[in-house]
Structure 1
């Protein structure tokens, strides 16, 4: 069975590679590696929790008819702007209650993965038993139980009036808010017990126009699967919920929506996000830039290994989380991360691979890590993907995911995508995007050489030990159980046995 899966994976990779190399063809192919490509009047990238949460609060306050929140976790006790007074920015739950009370046409729905009550960091009590702020007929909080055993509902979506959508890696829960500084001792980054949680880096994309309406359809479809209730799109509003302070980085831009759903009940399997990721990486010619909480998938390893084997292939720079939390995460994600790094290092004959983790000085002669929670891919200044999908097995076929992608067709759009990468690396290296761009030009366009020149401060990027040490490079034992590609059905063995009789 494993040999069959590996052979099938290689065949799929070869087909994808052939498809994306068609001369003059677009990478985005609705029905194959994405669900739809719809136009956004505006699209913008929000880096880190503080900017996203502030924009989200402004947008929520502008809602007129509908707010739909879908997530892996949710905690109504968080404040979207903890760096201002509670009067100016109240906790999220009471904020939603105040909005629905003030606006008689507004309906608010929150859908949360059911196992969040035992697995996620948010408070489980309000999700199970309700809270005072939830006691309103036009404010519903539901748990999503429509998923296979051990699967997660992992999408992170907020839709407002079907006119604005946020999609990315950030749930509206505890331990997500942070600024670009990622200071080890930021007093606003507090847990419920008063201790400071570790710095965290993440990304979210905002879109409006037809792209936002299609993201809302994804949300409504998920709501129906989870609750049985069919929702109708909200009528267009004259006033847009787009925050006044949020600029548009892309204008009149086609945006692809790629999803992952496991086969479950009447729901067929959907693996658009995995196909899009493999197609984009296969198409790379000059550079691949990845930010990932987890990168452990052998399929991703197959693609990157082939790109490294090409003498004229791209540079590959990966920014990942260093320290895993919990024994299961360390056993599977941490161990398999290191094994995949070793595998790729061994085939990096042209010195075009770097895998880093970011650190911040703690003021006491040491340093603390920055938790990378983003799920980003940038290819050749042409392709940008942001969403909820990690580069592990379960995100490719077991968990529900939603990603947004942009493919540049003009020089200005290419510059915008490149500048986003400059902003991200400048943040990790404690410099300015313009300085990174200048050093990159002087380095002949080599992202790796530009990083080497600027990576000289206490805050910066550290190379993973697996880039140099010896050790196994195949997936660890138990991976198929703890990081499966597809749903596990205990009764399937009996069904097969019965069929064979």
Structure 2
């Protein structure tokens, strides 16, 4: 993967001024959607904040509500533990129980084979019949699944034999979910989407063109199980004065709700594990692009006779400029661009946004992502450092990573990315085997990484299990998809740092060069992860992270409470037999 070369030229008028301010290029020129001005973006950190904002927007809707997501649970409560169920909220708005009836559209990915293992549409059953993937099951409230839960936490049961609820303590939700899909009012339309044969054939051809035949199993898997992974909500698009959107990492599933505290025990979390995730709320011209993406996806998922009749003429006539003035009423606007991975349209502008930002980085890069396993990105970081040092720029550079220790798939790719950054020792079973072989990259890697300071961390919660006295440690699952560069630029959305998100699955991010917003993201998140105020100097902050990680390792060895959630990334597991992503 190469740096994006920019060769834009422009003319300056010096009639009235003799100076000019220039900036590095942050926007992807070949993206489908151009950068738009005057957007108001509000960071939404963790489910408590994100889902409350979504609930309030839908609750106030006067015209329309549209949802695109990977996962959907109609029985979830956006404001737990006793708030209104999402399915009831959507039904209330669609039927006009407390005001004008609102058109509600919900579009979720569904692949019958993949969904046997990934229960992402809770309770829709076989062909929308309600219940398990095999059909409606036995009786209207039959659980059909186990009552276990992983590592002492609640969980969604497997799709094959679970009839619509979580594994424990919610029989009413099972019954609710089984019935929700079968009796929708006229103003509430639920659709699912997947890739057709032509799409999958195209993905296979694209992967072979990009990567050759070195990994045929992964190429086949990427095509066969490509998912629609975008997470976008639009409310009242037809009325620019009221219009609001959400670009999300969160799915509409109960286990995505948590607070910044990530408490070991949390009644509001309904027994689910601690969960770190990020979304944002947007107003302004980028809503035009979110709407275009939505309408295209909705029409493709529908029947041929419904496609042109679904959208009012007034809605289709709106332009991006119609959202300028309303956005200014809500705060200081920023330039922003909607980027996507959309393999059917050969759109990989999310990857290009990362390429530009990595090339522009001069002080630090921060990755907070569910996965960290796209080696080409590590190679690009090294390439940038090599070129900068070759040009005389020899300042130290800092990379901060917060991710998960992989639990199965993707371990080989995770190791390859870490090893490319000189961090292979974090996965010793892989690293031991690699060290036995000749390493032609060793000298170049050493030169590239000189002056490159890296922390790779994950997050832990700690507490005392019921009935026990000893401290226990549990992973805080990192589902975030955020990237920051130099307190200048951020991109956030649905895209993970792996091959699927960068090349094959459908994804949607917002990309934004905004010093104030980027700093806001960094300072809030680093307060959560480190338990203290971030320092002004990135060098000092890097040292502070190191001290926290070192101290926490000592406290864990003694069975003592941690000083903050931040711990060192270490994967002692056996080498996986498969390299699939």
The yes-or-no answer on 1:184 pairing with 2:264 is yes
The yes-or-no answer on 1:110 pairing with 2:109 is no
Call closer, same or farther: CA 1:121–1:49 in 2, change over 3 Å.
Answer: farther
Partner residue, 1:239: none
1:7-28 deviations in Å (ceiling 9; x for gaps):
xx3xxx13x1566999935534
1:294-340 deviations in Å (ceiling 9; x for gaps):
1111211211222455443631101001252xxxxx1x323321332
1:103-159 deviations in Å (ceiling 9; x for gaps):
444110101101274343345433622534752011011110235321100000111
Call closer, same or farther: CA 1:470–1:450 in 2, change over 3 Å.
Answer: same
Call closer, same or farther: CA 1:232–1:31 in 2, change over 3 Å.
Answer: farther
Give the secondary structure class of the aligned counterpart of 1:126.
coil
**1:283 Cα shift?**
1.2
Give the secondary structure class of the aligned counterpart of 1:420.
helix
Partner residue, 2:95: 101
**1:351 Cα shift?**
4.9
Call closer, same or farther: CA 1:400–1:63 in 2, change over 3 Å.
Answer: same
**How far apart, in 2, do the equivalents of 1:396 and 1:425 lie?**
26
Partner residue, 1:281: 358
The normalised TM-score by structure 2 is 0.67
Partner residue, 1:157: 232
Partner residue, 1:464: 569
Aligned residues: 424
**How far apart, in 2, do the equivalents of 1:118 and 1:272 lie?**
31
Q: Any conservation in 1 of the 2:42–2:281 contact (CA below 8 Å)?
A: yes
1:430-487 deviations in Å (ceiling 9; x for gaps):
22xxx22xxx23x565431232355554333112226xx9999xxx8754xx33xxxx
The normalised TM-score by structure 1 is 0.77
Structure 2: runs of 5+ lacking an equivalent? 11-20, 131-178, 201-223, 238-242, 319-328, 424-444, 465-469, 552-561
Q: Any conservation in 2 of the 1:35–1:272 contact (CA below 8 Å)?
A: no
1:54-98 deviations in Å (ceiling 9; x for gaps):
111000011111111001111101110113x3xxx2111111101
Structure 1: runs of 5+ lacking an equivalent? 1-8, 191-195, 237-246, 325-329, 409-413, 484-501
Partner residue, 2:79: 81
Give the secondary structure class of the aligned counterpart of 1:465.
coil
**Higher radius of gyration, 1 or 2:** 2
Please, which of 51, 64, 85 is the counterpart of residue 91 of structure 1? 85
The yes-or-no answer on 1:355 pairing with 2:444 is no
Partner residue, 1:295: 372
The yes-or-no answer on 1:398 pairing with 2:398 is no
Partner residue, 1:215: 290
Partner residue, 2:129: 129
Q: Any conservation in 1 of the 2:375–2:413 contact (CA below 8 Å)?
A: no
RMSD between aligned alpha carbons? 3.0
Structure 1 stretch displaced more, 131-140 or 254-263: 131-140
**1:377 Cα shift?**
0.5
Give the secondary structure class of the aligned counterpart of 2:229.
coil
Partner residue, 1:320: 403
Q: Any conservation in 1 of the 2:250–2:277 contact (CA below 8 Å)?
A: yes
The yes-or-no answer on 1:142 pairing with 2:142 is no
Call closer, same or farther: CA 1:425–1:170 in 2, change over 3 Å.
Answer: same
Call closer, same or farther: CA 1:19–1:189 in 2, change over 3 Å.
Answer: farther
